[in-house]
Amino acid sequence: MEIRDNILHIGGISARDLVDEFKSPLYVYEEDTIRARAGELKNAITFANKEIKFACKANTNLEIMKVLKDEGMGIDAVSPGEIFAALKAGFAPDRILFTTNNVLWEEIEYAVSKNVLANLDSLSQLRMFGERFPCRDVCVRINPNVGAGHHDHVITGGPESKFGINYTEVDDIKDIAEKYRLRMTGIHQHIGSGILEPEMFIKAMDVLLETAKYFDDLSFIDFGGGIGVPYRENEKRIDIAVLGKMISERFASFADRQGGGGHSVSREKDGLKLVIEPGRYLVAESGFLLATVASIKAEKKHRFVGIDTGFNHLVRPAMYGSYHQILHTEKAENPGVKQVIAGNLCESGDTFTRDENGIVDRDLPLFNEGDIVCLCNAGAYGYSMASFYNSRPRPAEVLVKEGSAKLIRRRETYEEIFTGSR
Q: Which residues participate in catalysis according to the annotation?
A: 346
Q: Which stretch binds ligand LLP (CB under 6 A): 54-62, 86-94, 346-354, 401-409?
A: 54-62
Among 33, 60, 193, 286, binds ligand LLP (CB under 6 A): 193
Under a CB-based contact definition with an 8 Å cutoff, are residues 273 and 50 in contact? yes
Bond before 144 cis per omega within 30 degrees = no
| DSSP conformational letter for 272 | P
358 DSSP β-pair partners: 355
E strands present in 234-361: 273-276, 287-298, 303-307, 326-328, 337-342, 354-355, 358-359
Scan residues 273-302 and list those touching ligand LLP (CB under 6 A): 277-281
* Rounded least distance, CB 281 to ligand LLP, Å: 6
* Rounded least distance, CB 209 to ligand LLP, Å: 18
Q: Is 344 a binder of ligand LLP (CB under 6 A)? A: no
Q: Which stretch binds ligand LLP (CB under 6 A): 20-28, 36-44, 50-58, 208-216?
A: 50-58
3-state secondary structure of 146: coil
* Rounded least distance, CB 97 to ligand LLP, Å: 9
| DSSP conformational letter for 116 | P
* Rounded least distance, CB 379 to ligand LLP, Å: 11
Among 47, 220, 352, 381, binds ligand LLP (CB under 6 A): 381
Nearer to ligand LLP, 13 or 238 (CB): 238
Binding-residue pattern over the window 82 to 101 for ligand LLP, x denoting contact by CB under 6 A: -----------------x--
Q: 289 to each of 19, 33, 46, 374, how far by Cα in Å?
A: 11, 15, 34, 6
Among 186, 224, 306, 310, binds ligand LLP (CB under 6 A): 224
Handedness of CA 279, 280, 284, 286 (dihedral sign): negative
What single letter denotes the amino acid at residue 47? F
Helices assigned H by DSSP within 213-293: 240-258, 264-270, 280-283
Where does this chain bind ligand LLP (CB under 6 A)?
55, 57-58, 76, 99, 154, 156, 190, 193-194, 224-227, 277-281, 316, 380-381
